[in-house]
Amino acid sequence: MFLAILCANALLAQVQWTRYSKNPVLDTGSRGTWDSASVSEPCVIFDGVMYKMWYIGFDGSVYRIGYATSPDGIAWIKSLDNPVLDTGKTGTWEDVWISAPSVLFDGNTYRMWYNGYDGGHWRIGYATSSDGVIWEKHLANPVLNLGPGGAWDQIHVFDPTVVFHDNIYEMWYSGDDDSNNRIGYATSTDGIVWKKHPNNPVLDVGPGGAFDHIYADISNVIINKGAYEMWYVGEADTDPSNNRIGYAASFDGIVWKKYPGNPVLDIGKSGSWDDMHVSRPSVIFDGDDYKMWYCGHDGSRWGIGYATSPYSNISLFTKGDVDGDGVITSKDAILALSISISIIVPSEYQRWAADMNSDGKIRSDDVILILQKASGLAALGIENMRFSALLQNFPNPFNPETWIPYQLKEDCEVNIRIFDISGNMIREFALGFRPAGTYTSRGKALYWDGRNSTGEPVANGVYFYTIHAGDFRATRKMVISQ
């Protein structure tokens, strides 16, 4: 549903954002309406035809959740049924305010995780809908509760962002210990019963003077090909009256690396609609550009704006930097050697960084390449080497269409085959002679419409795809889901 690109040589950062010139794209309602005082905290999805937004409306007394649609992500029409989700009955965990929706759509059901406030604590609840308008709250709410006394999330848990990946729901949420806000991680098989990660928080506040020294919270995460991208809100001790948006990336959703040039979206110019705060980003990737909806504040009210970012090649991680410290040394080669002979079990990032030739295995040739980089042997052309690679299809899971990206180190004949879980070949693509280069965009990657060789749609389930490109062979897994 949401896309991020992982190339063979670096995890890329989407950090250059351009605001829409006519922001805000969603403003407050008329006097006396449920969202007359402010609109904020957007969550946007795209179903292939229409952009759909769930957002917070405030009438000066109560925060509630509304719904709007748009053909282009800029011109929005609010639902006549707003608000579509209201506060709970008196005495419940959400009887004062509700906010911060995070919505997924699987083709049949809309699933929403949201904040509820009882006057003392924020907690996270869950609701479902068949149309995105009429919602049914789960009877066991809240589904994510406060941590125990003394925990980093003992006071509040709030602002969830949820993705569905490899048949698991993954949630990043904000926690408050009455001192700092940080970001934690939890997983669930059904979206209802959640297990918090033992090493929470997974994204901490920055050092003194950093833009996120006091708070690092209110995140949005997208995922593809094992790569995670996060946009989050920071607040500094040097200017506690301003929120700004930063960026971080991860290979496993747990160990994150912040962009050193944060924040990536700063407050607007003096006198603009967002000159006090920019907050609560919601980001999607359409295959070419990243699109962000965010809320801005001018000192009197919140509105919702729009910004775009082209796919960029700014690297946060580098092949060979196995320990992730930003430099390649003999220590990285030792770690790669330890991985190759199974002395240590690597993280997803360590495995990626140590696999220098991107063949899916970590062997002595990878160790040698790391040593060459550490020694600065530029004469060997290591910095400019191109490797053949079969990358993860996108989107994944998918239904019914997907794209299979790949990279070629040399000119060669290319053949890609798709197999079912029993090993039966269901489709073959003889792509012919292809020049060396990258085939990762929708216009260059292999397109598959989810049909077999006779033109019939294949069943939901796990499939494998292989590439034969010269001497290069590789296999990956993909999932078709409803």
Query: What b/e readout covers 20-45, taking b as 16+ CB neighbours within 10 angstroms?
Result: beebbbbbbbeeeebbbbbbbbbbbb
Mean pLDDT of residues grouped by 10 in the chain (482 residues)? 33 75 97 97 95 98 98 98 98 98 96 98 98 97 97 98 94 95 96 96 92 94 80 83 90 86 93 96 89 96 95 68 79 85 76 80 82 60 56 87 89 94 91 88 90 93 92 88 76
The pLDDT assigned to 358 comes to: 73
Whether 412 and 469 have beta carbons less than 8 Å apart is answered as: yes
Output the pLDDT for position 225: 57
Q: What share of the chain is helix, strand, coil (3-state, %, to 5)?
A: 5, 45, 50
The class that CATH gives domain 389-480 is mainly beta
pLDDT of residue 339: 86
What pLDDT, on a 0 to 100 scale, did the predictor assign at position 380? 36
- 12-315 with 389-480: one CATH topology? no
Q: Which helix or strand (DSSP H or E) is residue 371 part of? A: helix 364-375
Domain spans in the chain, listed from the N-terminal domain onward: 12-315, 330-384, 389-480
Per-residue pLDDT at 14: 62
According to CATH, the topology of domain 12-315 is Tachylectin-2; Chain A (2.115.10)
> Which position has the token pair 């939890």?
186
Distance in angstroms (rounded) separating the CA atoms of residues 232 and 210: 14
Q: What is the pLDDT of residue 385?
A: 39
> Rounded to two decimals, what is the model's pTM?
0.71
**Beta bridge pairs of residue 402:** 448
Question: Could you say which DSSP state residue 211 is in?
Answer: T
